[in-house]
Copies of this chain bind each other. A is one copy, B any other.
């Protein structure tokens, strides 16, 4: 004990060493998973002088005290998410975890008794439960309708058990382990291999659940199962889950496989930030417990500390308000404020070298975990070590080895451009290669629709994925990318899409005035090559940065190309004529088109179209090249939506028919503001007079744009050679254009 104390003190005295690794020796005894005996002592010694921790503690205490007053209730499982028994069991595990912590920190047996009594009720009932009555899941749980939620329960409850372990009699422990924890762990693993033995966020929870209880009860064979999967549980490689994804095609399984596969070396989680936020809790909490109990496994520093990097990646995938960018299945509004991110940030700070920028995130969360990591953060904040978290442009590669495309984020002033050229993103992926979204000051300007689901809103399909998630949200036309011949990429088939990824071509944020991200996609539509380049330009002639978008299409046959823009807001003006139909028509019959109303059709008056709209009291304009035969469709989401599951939001679609090779070039500006208080409109007009593709070959594409002040600029890109050192020369309008590197703006 005293040796550990000294080690602890050494750790605290050398915390300025940014590469230190915590917990040099394995913890034994209890608590030892998340809280440690030494951590508890240190916490008790600091109580009352660490404001953010003290606040979190008093909130937790008030919460649990109220719960204890209400009494224990362990209902017979009955409901889907959002329903009473579901929410009650969820509440129970959250409160037990908290009560366990309170017992340790406050040394008040009330909390230990509360956890004990509730666990004993579970132990009495659990053996009587068969599978949950609701049938919708491929892997039904016992307490909940899916094993996933049962696993959540065990991840939390293992911590509670660890905290009150020493308080319990041996008989009580035997009873709980025999009647509850071991059969519980067996059920979600042995009896549900197709849930447990996957590379999927579900399995991560399952692995962590089994692993956490294994650590709590010190069962090494159970821990092996968590780390490497339930080897005896074979899965038919053709089996699919509820979302249409393969359960397990390659035999990979266990916590380490789940850690290796979905995270790229940059810490990007292939399902996207919404699921990463969800998945990060079991990853980090179990890794933290392993770090404490089995430091020799070094899980937190596995794959060049990918778990710690993933926290940084996740923060960088949030907008100015801390809301996560919407990539793949994702509910809007999920943010850095969510509980699992409090854990993630605290763990990353504590175990990842005390990055002072993380303290500013923790400060905005105004909450820390009540454990060693939370204490470290609270002390850091108390000592004024926090620095602002500076989000910059960043490219985060996708794929276990970082070679399956990427997400590129370009930032300048208030604009954040998110460009997606990743792998499919497992079963939560969308058919949205080369799509983008645009944010300003934390508001969506050009939106990604996100998922069709109202999580935990029982009335909306039990809170689960709605049918429209498949028929609309995942389809290509619901994204800001090109659709060929009114069919989704990869024919909308997961088994095809999941084999491919886009190819990164350029990501260059070295010059803040011309930041470029460029990628190619050649599998989405066989025979067609897509190459999209997005440029965030800062120019002193404009008050704000703006986006130049060049979508180049090359095909072996003529096609119809649709390029939608999901602007949000109210149309102010267009420079093209359109006529609204008396009543909207349904745009198509499949691949998501059946969910769009065509409200109006227009055609370009000239070789450019322009749309100006107003959203969040800001004027935006979209200026795009057009051909005389282009159709411009003004559309709205909501057709074939019998239960109003979709949001009635607008889109502008440029439709180019009977075309083999083409370039769609456009500029998106945020150029003005409106105040409903002063009723003044500032810079309500676009600064772009025209945009034109002045040169386009397989080797080069050059786009020229002219401002309303008569200034002309060209952006040129080498389409086949991204070498920074190579010189290029072109003659455009009898003028030589010479530059070095993959692109230039002149």
A residues in contact (CB < 8 Å) with B: 82, 87, 331-335, 337-339, 454-460, 463, 570-573, 579-580, 582-586, 597, 599, 612, 614, 617, 634, 636, 638-644, 647-648, 650, 674, 676-681, 684-685
B457 x A332 contact (CB < 8 A): no
For chain A, what secondary structure do more than half of its interface residues adopt (helix, strand, loop), or is it mixed?
loop
- For the complex, give the distance between the alpha carbons of A572 and B685 in Å: 39
Q: How far is the CB of A653 from chain B (nearest CB, A)?
A: 15
> Is the CB–CB distance between A334 and B684 below 8 Å?
no
Do A583 and B580 touch across chains, with their CB atoms under 8 A apart? Answer: no
In the complex, residue of chain B having the shortest beta-carbon distance to the beta carbon of A90: B680
Q: Which residues of B contact A634 (CB under 8 A)?
A: 644
Q: How far is the CB of A716 from the nearest CB of chain B, in Å?
A: 33
Asked whether A677 lies within 8 Å of B460 as measured between CB atoms, the reply is no
Partner of A681, one of B457, B614, B617, B681: B457
Contact B580 A597 (CB under 8 A): no
Beta-carbon nearest neighbor of A599 in chain B:
B638
Q: In the complex, are the beta carbons of B458 and A681 less than 8 A apart? A: yes
Cβ–Cβ contact A458 & B677, under 8 A: no
Query: Could you tell me if A684 and B648 are in contact, using CB atoms closer than 8 angstroms?
Result: no
Q: Which residue of B lies closest to A680 (CB)?
A: B456
A614–B457 touching, CB < 8 Å: yes
| Residues of chain B within 8 A of A638, CB atoms compared | 599
Please pick, from B580, B614, B641, B677, the residue contacting A335 in the complex, using a CB distance under 8 A.
B677
List chain B residues, Cβ under 8 A from A617: 333
Bound-state CA distance A639–B636 (Å) is: 13
Most chain B Cβ neighbours within 10 Å, of A612, A638, A650: A638
Known contacts A332-B676, A334-B677, A579-B642; 20 additional CB pairs below 8 A are A82-B684, A87-B680, A334-B676, A334-B679, A338-B677, A454-B572, A454-B614, A456-B680, A457-B572, A457-B614, A457-B684, A458-B681, A571-B643, A571-B644, A580-B641, A582-B640, A583-B583, A583-B584, A583-B639, A648-B650
In the complex the two chains form, is B454's CB within 8 Å of A677's CB? no
Q: Which residues of B contact A674 (CB under 8 A)?
A: 457
Residue ID in chain B nearest A674 by CB atoms: B457
**If the complex has contacts A584-B583, A644-B571, A648-B648, are A455 and B679 also in contact, measured as CB distance less than 8 A?**
yes
Q: Are A679 and B641 in contact (CB under 8 A)?
A: no
**A84 CB to nearest chain B CB (Å):** 11
The interface centre, meaning the residue of A636, A638, A679 with most chain B CB atoms within 10 A of its CB, is A679
**Whose C-beta in chain B lies nearest to the C-beta of A685?**
B459
Closest 10 A/B residue pairs (Cβ) = A333-B676, A571-B644, A459-B573, A455-B679, A338-B677, A457-B681, A459-B572, A456-B681, A337-B677, A456-B679
B residues near A571, Cβ cutoff 8 Å: 643-644
Q: With the chains together, A585 CA to B585 CA distance in Å?
A: 10
What are 29 sample pairs from A and B whose C-beta atoms fall under 8 A apart?
A82-B681, A82-B684, A331-B679, A332-B676, A333-B617, A333-B676, A334-B677, A335-B677, A337-B677, A338-B678, A456-B680, A457-B572, A457-B614, A457-B674, A457-B681, A459-B572, A459-B573, A459-B684, A459-B685, A463-B681, A570-B644, A570-B647, A579-B642, A582-B586, A582-B639, A583-B583, A584-B584, A584-B597, A636-B648
Measured in the bound complex, the distance between the Cα atoms of B612 and A505 in whole Å is 48
Residues in B with CB closer than 8 Å to A679 are 331, 334, 455-456
CB distance from A593 to the nearest CB of B (A): 14
- Which residues of the other chain, B, contact A584 by a CB distance below 8 angstroms? 583-584, 597
Q: State in angstroms the CA–CA spacing of A436 and B459 once bound together.
A: 28
Q: Measured between C-beta atoms, what is the minimum distance from A700 to chain B in Å?
A: 37
Bound together, the chains give a CA A457 to CA B586 distance in angstroms of 32
Point out the residues of chain B lying under 8 angstroms from A597, CB to CB.
583-584
A463 contacts which chain B residues (CB < 8 A)? 681
Q: Which residues of B have CB within 8 Å of A580?
A: 641-642
CB distance from A585 to the nearest CB of B (A): 6
- Min CB–CB distance A682 → chain B (angstroms): 9
Question: Which residues of the other chain, B, contact A640 by a CB distance below 8 angstroms?
Answer: 582
| A420 shortest CB reach to chain B, Å | 21
Q: Chain B residues near A650: list those with CB within 8 A.
A: 648
Complex Cα distance, B639 from A490, in Å, reads 37
Q: How far is the CA of A331 from the CA of B338 in the complex (A)?
A: 36
Interface-central residue, A333, A454, A582, A644, by most chain B CB under 10 Å: A644
Question: A65 CA to B271 CA in the complex, in Å?
Answer: 54
Report how far A459 CA is from B620 CA in the complex, Å: 13
